Amino acid sequence: MSLPAPTQGDVAYYDAFPVERKDVVDVHLHYSSEKGFVEKLLKEMDGAGVKVACLISSGPDCDEKEEAEWRAIFKDFGDRIFGLGLFKPGRCGYEVVDGYYSKGFKGLKAIEPKKPYDEDEYLRYYERAEEYGMPILFHTGVVARGSTREREDVSSGYMRPIHLDRIARWCPKLKIIAAHMGDPWFSEAYNTSQKNPNMWLDISGKGIWLKASAIREHLWIRLRPEKLLFGLDEPPTQYRRIVHAWETILYEMGISQEQRDMVFSGTARRVLSL
């Protein structure tokens, strides 16, 4: 009597080798005032297969040079660069959302609120963004110091992922991205996003080792690959290295080609309506 033929489940099994990425969407990149930044960015994007990058402005009161660059970006590279207007809740008027929208920004980046992100008085910003269909990328997690010498009124605790829970429920059509998966509050970020279908997580920033280990620990219990979005949050010269690192890590975790395609671009295209 012969044994039944083995199935894939009976042997150590790896998906097909990853192939070079040709369609990456980056949801987290910062504007730089460095000369020739946009040209260099587009060159690096082309070299790493990055089709679209979400570029974050320096703030609502940026200088004339940056204003002019944004006008040029929206005119010439609207299909490659998705503008995110940075604002700090409680530190600027509600009209900041209308202002960004009228200039051509398609989304917002929130950071360093005066009080926790989900304060009553901040809901107006989010309601306005929801009406315009502008997704908001929220910085979540411990934030870098602006200055180590000057007094600063900033608390990383106000940017814990749990503060996005109320916003996601209050604005059910608002698309929310929690940057850095809430580093170091990974469990909190995963659990909050699991309960809210309008909330995703970007894998951007340093500490890739710890982020990968948190993903591996929570995967299939509190987290699915469909919730993760590729983001850089480093200079564009780092695209190739970081895309390669995450591709390898996610592949080794057994995340399939199809699911990795979603992390690198598919889900972002849906969230950003590209």
Q: What is the contact surface with Zn ion in residues (CB under 5 A)?
A: 233
CA dist 136 and 155 (Å) reads 20
Going edge to edge, which strands form the sheet with 136-138? 24-30, 50-56, 81-87, 107-110, 136-138, 176-178, 199-202, 228-229
Residue 233 Cβ vs Zn ion, minimum distance, rounded to whole Å: 4
Output the furthest CA–CA distance in the chain (Å, rounded).
82
Between residues 127 and 234, which has the closer beta carbon with respect to Zn ion?
234
CA dist 57 and 273 (Å) reads 20
Q: Which two tokens stand for residue 191?
A: 């659990």
Residue 141 Cβ vs Zn ion, minimum distance, rounded to whole Å: 10
Residue 28 Cβ vs Zn ion, minimum distance, rounded to whole Å: 6
Between residues 55 and 214, which has the closer beta carbon with respect to Zn ion?
55
Residue 130 Cβ vs Zn ion, minimum distance, rounded to whole Å: 22
Between residues 205 and 255, which has the closer beta carbon with respect to Zn ion?
205
Whether the bond into 161 is cis, omega within 30 of 0: no
Residue number with the smallest Cβ distance to Zn ion:
233
Between residues 130 and 233, which has the closer beta carbon with respect to Zn ion?
233
CB 115, CB 90: distance < 8 Å: yes
CA dist 61 and 204 (Å) reads 26
How far does the chain reach from its first CA to its final CA, in angstroms? 57
Residue 57 Cβ vs Zn ion, minimum distance, rounded to whole Å: 12
| Residue at token pair 């399939």 | 256
Residue 142 Cβ vs Zn ion, minimum distance, rounded to whole Å: 13
Between residues 233 and 247, which has the closer beta carbon with respect to Zn ion?
233
Between residues 193 and 204, which has the closer beta carbon with respect to Zn ion?
204
